[in-house]
Structure 1
């Protein structure tokens, strides 16, 4: 697991101390000296290094939020009441009055809780809550006005840039979260990443029932044909597929694989293929549960519900009670022909260092693209693998001359471009 930390250079020691109790995690440090550097540094790191989660303060988050992938777990540092209390006690240790004081960035609820707990005078607190639209100059002006109005001995600021501008005679106490708060937020982010992984790797079951076969095809032959169709569907390349007799065909796989095959539970092209190529009508059900048995039971319930539809369709039933459907057969499945070109594909796969099935799926994706270029991330989604695996696959194909760089695309006007590649697998019969 890789977690990125976006921090000011003066805070690294505190974060390193907080991370001592976190094992099995690689930390990627994005260290800045000025807030204006955050955006470029984060963009560069995301382009060069995969991260599973990102921990950063509210200011860095505001600077780069549009660069962050929507599915990236992100934790925004929030200073707790304990951190504010420690800053106030630090002031007491220096013989400063706890109030009046001028504070920025903390939310009003946290400040109110600390004031009540320490029995301080609310009238002596000048607070400017965090607002991403406020500039450093505006925050500095707020503190200067508060100091002039109240005669406060010091300022508590979470903004490094603000503290730097106030160090012309005004004492500033940093309100950076302490190791305990940082440690808790790091652990929470690690658990969030782990939960996301567990969800993606959670096993699920699919039940495919032959609802109706053509006059020239009995149900037994129809089930065999359906099973062969599923085996030759690239999205199910890593699934366990079994002919269960009257129950139809059962598929066991990770939840993420089924999400890929159904375009996130929207459509199931295999239904249309079964009707077009085999002349059979299929009802499909998917189940996601805590065990293989519950997955299968839920999938059978979903398939029974799909059979009640007037057209080929599919349903999903989760153990949480969520039901999605009906899914239509809209879209076209990407077919691959490994069995038709076995020897040639196996020879090329051995040269490249990939399995013949993987190479055949890549050839199918190339045919579906019809000459268009693709990014490593999009290729990963086509194959149902992770983005890092997609990038590693591109590198391996590049070493064998099976892809070529085809420029880049600007994903966002302020973001970094993504490199595009054209697949050169070729038809199996034309393999190099």
Structure 2
């Protein structure tokens, strides 16, 4: 029997369907399930119906639909949020000039300030004459319309550039509106990326990756909102994150979506995260980070939040990685200097890990835990908590280490008056790495 076609759901405004249909023509072996709406208050019901009637392998939707229905989306569903790109904004400005309008003054909504600045610089425009209202998931269309009306009244701009579908209707012809909607080419690229991700996910569930950056000790920050925006801009202007999707998350956080390979490069293969030191030096804030790798975007974020919470427990700013197979790597230092053994510096760790049946990253983390213990014996439960794994997994790990002489029994501890004593073990990983008896 032939393999079943991949099913990708599309959530969009009814007026956008022609451009989406044009974008879908280049994808073969994919069936599309459509959910269209006329008003934003219809989005949730349309998505609920789509999820109930179609067995989706992936979902593509814009910023507004995603903000309105993100809590409805299944945890394991691959999702791509399509958004207008810098090229789409440049094309809108080109249409303005074709209409005989000046490039500035103008007001623009939804695009990040960085994108507006980038395009304005490329077109040699006066950035001071451009007002920008970046996308806010909690902001209704009425507020976007009020922003444009205020700017038009103040500057006499003959038109505005908008991505929000309801803006033109709300302005009711009182000012011209140029839609900078995603072109079929932009949508097509997002669709191709989503389809490839779905195919890769079926073969390998480790294609999603997310990072959550948190401002630690928020009670010590006088202006937390300003600090969060500063952290957001710092990440947006970090060259290593150029291909990542970055947005705020809560009052003190920033979330980053990217391929795991990008995060591996940024952290020097999960060793250090220098951008945390830059946040301290340039923003004066203590920031920590967590990375999550799993089978869906939502799962990655959940794992990244757990990892960031773990990083907050350390005295010094750092980062951790948690994957959905139970592995945790960290701490990663803010200076970029490794806080754990790595196979690059200790060539024996890779061979030792292969002999024991563990990954080099896990053995690296165990070596760091051993150093922190300073010779003190540890129980399987305590070791499990340090690694962020379950108690049964901790006991299995101790047995595996004992079989390879990397953990040696060293007495017992009676934590509670009732019950059996807990066996204690002294780790012997450092000696094995250094070749000492």
Q: TM-score, normalised by structure 2?
A: 0.48
Larger radius of gyration: 1
